[in-house]
Amino acid sequence: MSIELNPGIPEGPLSQKWDHYKANMKLVNPANKRKYSVIVVGTGLAGASAAASLAELGYQVKSFCTHDSARRAHSIAAQGGINAAKSYPNDGDSVWRLFYDTIKGGDYRAREANVYRLAQNSTSIIDQCVSQGVPFAREYSGELANRSFGGAQVSRTFYARGQTGQQLLLGAYSQLMKEVDKGKVTLFPYREMLDVVMVDGKARGIITRNVTTGEIERHAADAVVLATGGYGRVYFLSTNAMNSNVTAIWRAHRRGALFGNPCYVQIHPTCIPVSGSYQAKLTLMSESLRNDGRVWVPKKKEDCKKDPSTIPDEDRDYYLERKYPSFGNLAPRDIASRAAKEVCDEGRGVGESGLAVYLDFRDAIKRDSEAVIRERYGNLFDMYHEITNENPYRAPMRIYPAVHYTMGGLWVDYSLQTTLPGLFAAGEANFSDHGANRLGASALMQGLSDGYFVLPYTVTNYLGTHAQELLKKVDVSHAAFDSAENEVRAEIDRMLENGKKGKRTVTEIYRDLGKVVWEKIGMARSEQGLKEALAEIEKLQKDFDTDLLLTGDSKLNKNLEMAGRLRDLLELGALMARDALERKESCGGHFRVESQTPDGEAQRDDENFAHVAAWEYKGKGQVPARHQEKLVYENVKLSVRSYK
């Protein structure tokens, strides 16, 4: 049985679709607005901005986060910037160009209408943030400064030093706190969401656990928004924060929300390599380093352990410059990441682990002087030094790719509603705008567009459309809450009970999962590898069910939280393998070794795969069902990306 996936794209030409939506949406009159309550889970850019904006409209908003404070969400760690088609530098940018770049960057696997709306909203985001007092970088003229990013041909990136994510999040957080003060938003910190409660086919609440007290709580509302971020932590090692997890959207998936394109993952080429088995987190280094650094590995395996300064130029393989002469060291993220993996797989990786390549500034320092390089990259060099205790002015840096963003997520229609009515997903938690690959400085843009400028309209439209039904309030004593709570309790009790007998810690199983997913559903995926991954994950799932070692109680216990998350990540890992297996083409971050051009480049298959894969959960251990949403391109022509 196939589910009808209707993206609900409004009529009219591309540039008028959003206006058309707004002109025809259902409204809720001001007096009625206070009768509705909306739950927003997550307080990152998407969650905080959505909660604040919905509260300003007059709805009663309940905002949940797993941290002590809304300000700790992982959006805070974004460094580079936020794109907007303001065209201040007068360099030919426009809404259309931002739209086009995003569609193309996503390797033609995103929905045109959503991406166009994103580009349209981008300019309002900057105005909004400035009005909040976000201290964007400025020119001496007092005007906002822009820089270029990720190979874009225009300068459309706004930034606040290297802390753009922090400043944007604090802006959204401050607006949220304003509404908390007014009593329009109630904050529920220290909560992890463990289930969505469906009543008569509509999302009417959630079950949460207070991580400090262990209490399981019920919260009812008229609509639920999930803005809980991506699932990069399935790799165990990633640039995501320790608390980033898939649990909220996975529990929604288990309740029936379809999961879109789980195999689309972005791997960033310039991270500090893994230095030991004890590590739990990787650190990203700005991509800008590749403007001056040259990437190389030794030509001969036996040179790999040598002091790099003793290896003469003729024995070095500047492989990016060799393979992609026109882009060289500035090849796009996915290409550069894959090339690094290839040379390491050949046994030419460097460092103690053999899983690193050199990023060498020797020539740049010789050309421009150390002072110039320090001026450009001083803080990054310091950061590298601090972590590795090596001086990158003297010896080349060692870098390796790492996971840092997931394009997949809950399938949503144009209104950001999942396949569960009344359940919305925003930001990285949904699959919507980036296709198979995300451009730099676009994640912040999407999170804020969803929260400030999309959900306030679409949630209102939902409430207005279903007013008759929703005005009959559902109480937390409803049977649906009983059963959802019981399931959640049972699962936690089972973990704690089983945990007394097992031998393998959460971290051990988690690390093994990460290793499988990284090696087999990472930068290069093969049919055989993906099948192996499925088998290995199944084994790990068994380990988790029968041999988990869990100590402590059900009050504040990070290890228990991690166990619950791992349980979901194990299922997600299997789904990623299936999705990657079924998508027998290469596109964006998804590279199938069977689908490449003779010279080793990604080969898309538009005829068979120009669609979104949306997966339906069929129960634990059951094979999920794959559904499709065909992607229709009426405004752009599908073409091949080449970087030779």
Partner 1 sequence: MMSTSKSKTIHIRLRVWRQESRDAQGFFEEHELKNVLVDMSFLEMLDVLNEQIIKSGKRPLEYESDCREGICGTCSLMVQGQAHGPIRGATTCQLYMRSFVDGETITIEPWRAKAFPVVRDLVTDRRAFDRIQMAGGYTGAKTGPHADANAILIPKDLADRAMDAAACIGCGACVAACPNASASLFTSAKVTQLALLPQGQADRKRRVIRMVDQMDKEGFGSCSNLQECEAACPKKISIQNIAILKQEYLKAALAADFRAGMGSADGGA
How many residues bind partner 1 (CB under 8 A)? The answer is: 91
Q: Where are the strands (E) in 331-490, listed by range?
A: 357-360, 397-406, 409-410, 423-425
Applying CB under 8 A, the span of 290-298, 435-443, 448-456, 581-589 interacting with partner 1 comes to 448-456
Instruction: Give least dist CB 5 to partner 1, A.
Output: 30
Instruction: Give least dist CB 382 to partner 1, A.
Output: 10
1 binds partner 1 (CB under 8 A): no
Applying CB under 8 A, the span of 67-75, 475-483, 582-590, 608-616 interacting with partner 1 comes to 67-75
**Pick from 105, 128, 19, 221: which is nearest to 447 by CA?**
128
Instruction: Give least dist CB 355 to partner 1, A.
Output: 8
Strands 223-226 and 423-425: parallel
Considering only residues 5, 103, 126, 225, which one is a binding residue for partner 1 as defined by CB under 8 A? 126
Instruction: Give least dist CB 292 to partner 1, A.
Output: 23
Contact 425, 418 (CB under 8 A): yes
Q: How far apart are CA 118 and CA 18, in angstroms?
A: 10
Nearer to partner 1, 93 or 195 (CB): 93
Q: Is 333 a catalytic residue?
A: yes
Nearer to partner 1, 121 or 437 (CB): 121
Per-residue contact flags (x/-) with partner 1 for residues 353 to 392, judged by CB under 8 A: xxx------------------------------xxxx---
Applying CB under 8 A, the span of 47-55, 103-111, 320-328, 335-343 interacting with partner 1 comes to 47-55
132 binds partner 1 (CB under 8 A): yes
Nearer to partner 1, 188 or 617 (CB): 188
501 binds partner 1 (CB under 8 A): no
182 binds partner 1 (CB under 8 A): yes
Q: How far apart are CA 378 and CA 565, in angstroms?
A: 38
Considering only residues 180, 199, 330, 476, which one is a binding residue for partner 1 as defined by CB under 8 A? 180
Applying CB under 8 A, the span of 22-30, 49-57, 90-98, 581-589 interacting with partner 1 comes to 49-57
137 binds partner 1 (CB under 8 A): yes
25 binds partner 1 (CB under 8 A): no
Q: Which two tokens mark 347?
A: 């046994």
Considering only residues 49, 63, 121, 406, which one is a binding residue for partner 1 as defined by CB under 8 A? 49
Considering only residues 14, 28, 41, 52, which one is a binding residue for partner 1 as defined by CB under 8 A? 52
Site for partner 1 in 80-99 (CB under 8 A): 86, 88
Site for partner 1 in 576-635 (CB under 8 A): none
460 binds partner 1 (CB under 8 A): no
Q: How far apart are CA 562 and CA 218, in angstroms?
A: 21
242 binds partner 1 (CB under 8 A): yes
Instruction: Give least dist CB 533 to partner 1, A.
Output: 18
Considering only residues 18, 59, 173, 250, which one is a binding residue for partner 1 as defined by CB under 8 A? 173
Applying CB under 8 A, the span of 27-35, 129-137, 391-399, 525-533 interacting with partner 1 comes to 129-137
Count of CB atoms within 10 A of residue 374's CB? 14
Contacts of 486 (CB under 8 A, 6+ apart): none
Q: How far apart are CA 63 and CA 70, in angstroms?
A: 9
Contact 517, 233 (CB under 8 A): no
175 binds partner 1 (CB under 8 A): yes
Applying CB under 8 A, the span of 20-28, 142-150, 477-485, 602-610 interacting with partner 1 comes to 142-150
At 419 the three-state DSSP class reads coil
Among residues 111, 209, 333, 583, the one annotated as catalytic is: 333
Contacts of 562 (CB under 8 A, 6+ apart): 506, 507, 510
Q: How far apart are CA 483 and CA 11, in angstroms?
A: 41
Contact 118, 452 (CB under 8 A): no
67 binds partner 1 (CB under 8 A): yes
CA 53 to chain centre: 22
Applying CB under 8 A, the span of 22-30, 110-118, 137-145, 582-590 interacting with partner 1 comes to 137-145
Q: How far apart are CA 593 and CA 524, in angstroms?
A: 6
Q: How far apart are CA 389 and CA 378, in angstroms?
A: 15
Q: How far apart are CA 585 and CA 590, in angstroms?
A: 8
Considering only residues 1, 92, 140, 312, which one is a binding residue for partner 1 as defined by CB under 8 A? 140
Instruction: Give least dist CB 181 to partner 1, A.
Output: 5
Q: Which two tokens mark 587?
A: 């596109």
Phi and psi of 587, rounded to 5°?
Answer: -155, 135
Q: How far apart are CA 437 and CA 446, in angstroms?
A: 14
Site for partner 1 in 502-521 (CB under 8 A): 505, 507-508
The residue type of 93 is: D
Q: How far apart are CA 400 and CA 279, in angstroms?
A: 15
30 binds partner 1 (CB under 8 A): no
Nearer to partner 1, 56 or 538 (CB): 56
Contact 397, 357 (CB under 8 A): no
Considering only residues 25, 77, 395, 625, which one is a binding residue for partner 1 as defined by CB under 8 A? 77
In which region does residue 586 sit, left (phi positive, over 0), alpha (psi from -120 to 50) or beta (all else)? beta
Q: Is 137 exposed, middle or buried (0-12, 13-18, 19+ CB in 10 A)?
A: middle
Site for partner 1 in 385-404 (CB under 8 A): 386-389
Q: How far apart are CA 359 and CA 132, in angstroms?
A: 39
Instruction: Give least dist CB 49 to partner 1, A.
Output: 7
Contacts of 456 (CB under 8 A, 6+ apart): 50, 53, 54, 57
Per-residue contact flags (x/-) with partner 1 for residues 258 to 297, judged by CB under 8 A: ----------------xxxxxxxx-xx-------------
144 binds partner 1 (CB under 8 A): yes
**Pick from 603, 601, 644: which is nearest to 323 by CA?**
644
310 binds partner 1 (CB under 8 A): no
Q: Bridge partners of 406? A: 265
Residues identified as active-site: 333
